[in-house]
């Protein structure tokens, strides 16, 4: 996740701060970082991952910081390689964990089983439902949350970004907060201090040089040349100034094996860092992260930076009503759509709550089984008021959240393919292994202690 060892090389400019520094400001949050921590920390039937995330939202509000939660969207073609590798790793972790469990090595199996779990749009949607109930602003990116957060900061919608991903710095973000603790303490890295870095000299460097150094070290869109890490990438950029010259030099080095398509792949990866498609919360349509100049040789129809899409579809994804991967309405397993409150009654983006940043006006959503259509609700846009009280909204939404039949899909069975995994409800699967039952209920440690006692 991110550039290997990059944050270590920026240690000298990492500043310990309290989030209270941003009191009165809006701060963007990489939602999937919190979701992954919550899922891996406590996987139970009671959705503690939602509790984990919402506690941090409330902590920000206690410090008078307005959170804007940003979710990942659809798969980006540029990341097909890394996504496949990650899925294979998750399946391997699940396999190892299950084998350890069958051998009675419960404690050893638990870390592997947790790492075999993936966060799906259905899991993220449970968090979104609570954000709506608590009147917290959010947006689902069309593709990657990293690029969406970078765009929001560039447009001055947010003052800083909370994440654990070093890629945000490569996207050009100015202020990033890492390792945020429950008490509000964290580590801040500011781009303005890059010239003061002691570990690697970047005095006078442009954003382009920093981006090229990071990409040469290896990123999600481009594996590194064998033997090239962040330290050697820095050395080569300092010597040759540009990535093109570095690559040409390495091609002439018999000790370094440069992949045949590396130069072309490098250029494509840089386009993703510069021009990935994001959602503009003002115009309510997709735009590129940076404007594309007329003299730039790039086709805006390319899927590599993310396919363009209809405005209604983009809006539906942004407000969390369409699964950005399947492009189908998000309907939780076994839930009765007719029993849910009308989405037009959930005024989760227009509110008088002082902690809510309104990224875009409320849209009335008409939801059918076949499609979703969006209609601007002028009356709500003008008044900024909901048709039902906040108390009733919270009651309705949390009633849905407590329905045990509406559990998120958790992928933890490596014996089936990826397409089947997306359609499987493991919480209601009769073939669920005893190992997976214990892990998803969070009983592994308790079971381990009991087993150890009985074996004495």
Binned at pLDDT 50, 70 and 90, residue 417 comes out as very low
> How high is the pLDDT of residue 41?
65
Higher pLDDT, 293 or 287: 287
Mean pLDDT for the chain?
77
Q: pTM score, two decimals?
A: 0.73
Higher pLDDT, 332 or 378: 332
Tell me: pLDDT of 344 over 80.
no
For tokens 């439902």, name the residue: 129
Q: Answer yes or no: are the C-beta atoms of 337 and 349 closer than 8 Å.
A: no
Measured distance CA(230)–CA(8) in Å, rounded: 10
> How high is the pLDDT of residue 39?
82
Measured distance CA(180)–CA(171) in Å, rounded: 21
| pLDDT tens string 235-248 | 999 999 999 999 99
Tell me: pLDDT of 381 over 60.
no
> How high is the pLDDT of residue 296?
72
| pLDDT tens string 199-253 | 999 999 999 999 999 999 999 999 999 999 999 999 999 999 999 999 999 999 9
> How high is the pLDDT of residue 358?
36
Please name every residue paired with 139 in a beta bridge, in sequence order, or none if there are none: 70
| pLDDT tens string 39-90 | 876 543 445 889 999 999 999 999 999 999 999 999 998 887 777 887 888 8
Tell me: pLDDT of 360 over 60.
no
> How high is the pLDDT of residue 425?
37
Tell me: pLDDT of 398 over 90.
no
Query: Which tokens go with 362?
Result: 């409320």
Higher pLDDT, 85 or 413: 85
> How high is the pLDDT of residue 300?
57
Rounded to 5 degrees, φ, ψ at 35 are: -65, -40
Binned at pLDDT 50, 70 and 90, residue 400 comes out as very low
Q: How far is CA 183 from CA 34, 55, 102, in A?
A: 15, 11, 39
Higher pLDDT, 108 or 64: 64
> How high is the pLDDT of residue 47?
55
Q: How far is CA 371 from CA 132, 312, 362, 365, in A?
A: 22, 11, 19, 11
Rounded to 5 degrees, φ, ψ at 20 are: -60, -20
Binned at pLDDT 50, 70 and 90, residue 396 comes out as very low
> How high is the pLDDT of residue 454?
45
Tell me: pLDDT of 153 over 70.
yes
Higher pLDDT, 361 or 217: 217
> How high is the pLDDT of residue 116?
81
Lowest mean pLDDT among 252-266, 302-316, 331-345: 331-345
Q: How far is CA 445 from CA 43, 49, 116, 370, in A?
A: 12, 18, 17, 44
Rounded to 5 degrees, φ, ψ at 71 are: -105, 150
Tell me: pLDDT of 36 over 50.
yes
Rounded to whole angstroms, the maximal C-alpha distance in the chain is 76
Lowest mean pLDDT among 29-43, 118-132, 133-147, 321-335: 321-335
Residue 49 burial class via C-beta count within 10 angstroms: exposed 0-12, middle 13-18, buried 19 and up = buried
Other C-beta atoms lying within 10 Å of the C-beta of residue 395? 13
Q: Encode 320-337: b = buried (16+ Cβ within 10 Å), e = exposed.
A: bbbbbeeeebbbbeeeee
Q: For 13-198+276-296+299-308+408-454, CATH number?
A: 3.40.50.1010
Tell me: pLDDT of 399 over 60.
no
For tokens 């059918």, name the residue: 368
Query: Which tokens go with 13?
Result: 């400019």
Q: How far is CA 405 from CA 26, 46, 118, 335, 408, in A?
A: 36, 11, 20, 7, 9
Q: Is 435 helix (H, G, I), strand (E, B) or coil?
A: helix
Higher pLDDT, 348 or 222: 222
């Amino acid at each position: 996740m991110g550039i290997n060892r990059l944050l270590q090389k920026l240690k000298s400019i990492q500043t310990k701060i309290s989030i209270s520094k941003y009191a009165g400001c809006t701060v963007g949050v990489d939602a999937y970082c919190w979701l992954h921590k919550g899922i891996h920390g406590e996987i139970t039937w009671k959705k503690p991952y939602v509790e984990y995330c919402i506690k941090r939202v409330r902590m920000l509000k206690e410090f008078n910081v307005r959170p804007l939660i940003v979710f990942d969207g659809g798969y980006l073609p540029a990341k097909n390689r890394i996504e496949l590798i990650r899925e294979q790793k998750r399946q391997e972790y699940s396999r190892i964990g299950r084998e350890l469990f069958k051998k009675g090595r419960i404690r050893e199996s638990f870390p592997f089983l947790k790492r075999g779990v993936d966060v799906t749009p259905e899991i993220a949607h449970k968090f979104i439902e609570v954000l709506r109930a608590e009147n917290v602003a959010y947006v689902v990116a069309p593709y990657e949350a990293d690029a969406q957060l970078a765009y929001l900061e560039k447009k001055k919608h947010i003052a800083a970004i909370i994440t654990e991903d070093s890629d945000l710095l490569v996207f050009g973000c100015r202020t990033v907060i890492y390792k945020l603790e429950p008490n509000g303490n964290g580590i801040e890295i500011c781009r303005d201090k890059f010239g003061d870095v002691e570990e690697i000299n970047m005095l006078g460097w442009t954003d382009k040089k920093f981006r090229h150094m990071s990409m040469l070290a290896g990123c999600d869109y481009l594996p590194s040349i064998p033997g090239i890490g962040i330290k050697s990438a820095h050395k080569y950029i300092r010597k040759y100034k540009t990535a093109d010259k570095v690559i040409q030099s390495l091609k002439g080095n018999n000790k370094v094996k440069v992949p045949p398509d590396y130069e072309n792949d490098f250029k494509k990866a840089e386009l993703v860092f510069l021009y990935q498609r994001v959602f503009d919360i003002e115009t309510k349509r997709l735009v590129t992260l940076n404007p594309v100049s007329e003299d730039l040789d790039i086709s805006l129809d390319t899927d590599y930076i993310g396919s363009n899409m209809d405005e209604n579809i983009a809006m539906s994804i942004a407000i969390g009503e369409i699964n950005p991967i399947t492009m189908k309405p998000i309907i939780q397993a076994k839930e009765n759509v007719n029993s849910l409150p009308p989405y037009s009654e959930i005024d989760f983006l227009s509110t008088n709550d002082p902690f809510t940043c309104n990224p875009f006006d409320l849209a009335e959503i008409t939801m059918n089984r076949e499609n979703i259509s969006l209609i601007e609700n002028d009356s709500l846009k003008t008044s900024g008021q909901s048709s039902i009280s906040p108390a009733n909204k919270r009651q309705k939404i949390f009633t849905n959240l407590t329905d045990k039949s509406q559990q998120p899909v958790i992928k933890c069975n490596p014996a089936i393919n990826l397409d089947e995994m997306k359609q499987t409800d493991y919480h209601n699967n009769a073939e669920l292994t005893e190992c997976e039952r214990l892990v998803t209920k969070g009983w592994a440690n308790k079971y381990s202690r009991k087993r150890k006692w009985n074996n004495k």
